[in-house]
Structure 1
């Protein structure tokens, strides 16, 4: 017992105990401040940013205290023990440490932020929360078509930002290119069809084209990327069954499905208004009549 008390009185043990107490105090203050901010701030965006700011400051203070405790003071004969312990702890908690490091990387490098639509580790969805360990995503796709929510909430370790590509739909350019195929018969007036489709797209997507031009110009100046056509365009392909008009256009990354539906409805309405000049094609099957065969069987007696 005497040796135990002597050990507890040593400067190293006292320093470690003080460090632990301070760490607990900082963590408690972080939790309390987040609760106060949650109850006092009504604006959800401001409340979220304030809570994340408290977390970042708190974890920053913890890192600073650890550096001061173990680098600015002489730890005597226990340096080897603490070094081995720290190395073992780092190896055991490497995923956790990498996740925390990833959270700082996400915030400061702005890889993505809440509200962005991303695809990471094969999972696509909208970011709804980022904490010190996980990124929470409202999943889209999977068993539902196009860009609809599946209803599942997915938590992804922040460590994945160092392990693979991150596809961000809205980081610097919140627009995507999409395509719509219109199939018409060979007897249709191709010039009328082309004019009809391109004018409809230009009228429907004028706001997207105008808003995206400035953003794309900024992209060209910032990155090594060629200038791309923003206005809607058509490519024609002839198949065995029909003529395919491939319409390429730009739209908001969150309104791809709605835009495609509105375009097709308007184009289909205008095609019907041509009164037969342009006709939508569909797969057809031609049935041929089998020639009649007259079979005359005679009975033969043995």
Structure 2
């Protein structure tokens, strides 16, 4: 059991053969009063086949994601991004919500969860039925024009790109990354043709927050308001390495609200956690749903 300064934290480590039930019981105590906001990260989607950035096999170990400055600074940078994204994004689009996503939606329908904030851009919370999830970093299934601001469906862009590039030589690609792109040889990138906005001819960008780009202020404020109105925070599958997520842990802890973290590996919020569970989300979250249902039934 790990100790966390300033808290009486529970920690369940990934012991072979260990049950997730102890962690579920501790989490149930936090959620039983309802009004909990979920903050989810890439670790929630790994069981759907989407890798994370910072986990044990995180892609930051061998992949440098596109930055906002590189994308907006040159056509070459945009060509590289769109070629690699065109080769990989359908694998993201085909991904299905896993047991963790469905458990979060079950907790929301049951009244334990009052809101969901996700750092993921894969749309899997929406696919699981959590339509009101705030996508902090945007969504890969949308495209925005940097000139006129028009937002269109990624499917529409895909049709246009396939019309120009046919059976793109790099379409098979390599390993898909969390931002939906894959590594491609330079010759494949050089031959790829990109398209402008169909409305004004401006530069098209995926409707996601790149590294080096700020989350829109109204979206941040919406999340701040959710956390402010909540009774506590449940972090799922995030290392909290970036401030866009860590700020909500700090906000909750400063207000004296419980912070529960479920993540395999250390996080930057561990010193503020009142409950800390280090088991796979696909095991912990369904067990949590069952524990809360059993507690409710026992109460009559």
TM-score normalised by the chain length of structure 2? 0.23
Q: Of the two, which has the highest radius of gyration?
A: 1
Higher relative contact order (CA 8 A, sep 6+): 2
- If each structure's strand is expressed as a fraction of its own residues, which one has the higher value? 1
